[in-house]
Structures are given as C-alpha cells and as structure tokens.
Structure 1
C-alpha cells in the first residue's frame, strides 16, 4: 500500500512539473517583446544614471522598500514594467562572452512563483546566445529563442538568488 501511495505522489509531482514548464515557457514566449523592452530600458538607465559599473552584477527590484541594504537598484519606470509582468527582481551579470557590453546576461525572477514548491523561476536573456537546454532532477533550462530561455531551479532555498 505504501509503495502504491509513493508512486501516485511521485507521478503527481512529475506531472505538475511538466505542466509548470509548459506554462512558464508559454508565458515567456508571449512576453518576449515586453521583457526585451525592460532589458533595453535597463541598458539605457545604466548609460544615463550614475550606476557603479564595477559591480559583478546589478540587481533591480520592483519594491522600493528593498533599498535599505544598498544592494538593489530601484527605478520607477522599470519597476512598473516588472510589476505588470509579475517580476520580483532582475539580476544583470557580467560574463566574458563579449567585449561590447559590460553586462550581458539578465535573469528575470518571477515573483514567488513556485517558491512554495521549492523552486524559483527565471526568464533569462543571454546576449551571447550560449545557453544550452538542461533537464535533470534539480534544473530545467530550455531555450525558446536565440537569446531567451526559461530556467527553473529546484535547489531552493540554497540557490535562491534574490531575497
């Protein structure tokens, strides 16, 4: 009886993960234009504002109360766009793939999506276009275009990057 119950629970978890992957992939595909606009707006903000570009990553938040640590950057226009797409925070990293830009990989973390299930969901923009599809017990990453991919990390809370 315990074995049957275990297999039912395992099958349910696997089915829910697959449906989540498809749901988030569809959401990313539907919102690529808006996400690209946010990315371009952040690129513009970096150029025109006095932002410390020596940092390895820039972290934007949609919540102005997160500024107490000095770790996050808040821009009202960017925050409004983030809230419309249910994005909690954005991390913009430096990677050595190109000499043209200081920052070239952007992680859009969805707002508390899946955290209760022990995972964090990101839409990732990779200007280098080198992200590979990955699917294993803890990580799911699928490219949906040359530069955009869906990334679901099930190592929560150890890998929980923001807040």
Structure 2
C-alpha cells in the first residue's frame, strides 16, 4: 500500500463543511432549554452528565474547526508553514465520558457524541500524518558517514 495522500485544500474544505454541520447539530442538540425532561434517570446526575457531555462535544468540535481553519489559512497563504507548525497543532482528544453517565443520555445524543468522536479521530489521523512530515531524519551526510564507518570497520 502506498503512502497516504497529502492534505490538500479540497480535503480541508470538505472536512470544514462537515465540521460546521456537525458543530451546528451539536449546538442545537445540546441546547439545554427544554432538553432535561428527555434525560432518563436521576435528574441531578442527568443534568451533570448532559452538561459535561455538551462541554466535551462542543470543545472537541471547536478544536477540530480551529485546526481546519489554520490549514485553510495556510493554503490561502495567510499563514506560513512555520506558523502552522508552531500554532496549528491539534490538542489531545477530550477524555471519554463515564459509561454510566453516557448511558443517561438519550440515544440520539449518544449517536451525535459518537459521530463527533469519529470526526475528531479523522482529524487526529490527518494531523499526525501532517506532523510526521517534520520528524527529524538523519541528514544525508550523517548516513554517508555511518556507511563509510561500517565499510572501514569491515576491512
């Protein structure tokens, strides 16, 4: 299997559109007014579970959108590669919710949270692939020295 395709403006733009739609869906779904009656179980624990998951989900999507916006700015020539490498890193994923709290959410909300996690994992894979381009590889001179040293030792 060949190397994965490099990140392109078309990929970033498509993901950006998906991220906007998913973030808007999350905002609407976690609008707390009128939602608490749909939550099962103990009201206090359910409120906390809903609030925590809303915060995790919206933070996850805002981090993904920020990463995509940085890459869009880079492709538009508004950021240099140095600036993107320095400020365009994706933060680590939000911690997973407690299974018993997650179970208190209605199934449509659980599905939405899982979709945002999958989306964030896609962005993480792209970020890791992009960042791996900058890992330090031994310079050609160092590799040549190493080979010469091995050749001399074998004489």
- The structure showing larger relative contact order (alpha-carbon pairs under 8 Å, at least 6 residues apart) is 2
- Structure showing the higher helix proportion among its residues: 2
- Write 1 or 2 for the structure with the bigger share of strand: 1
Instruction: Indicate the structure (1 or 2) with the bigger Cα radius of gyration.
Output: 2
> Structures share a fold, TM > 0.5?
no
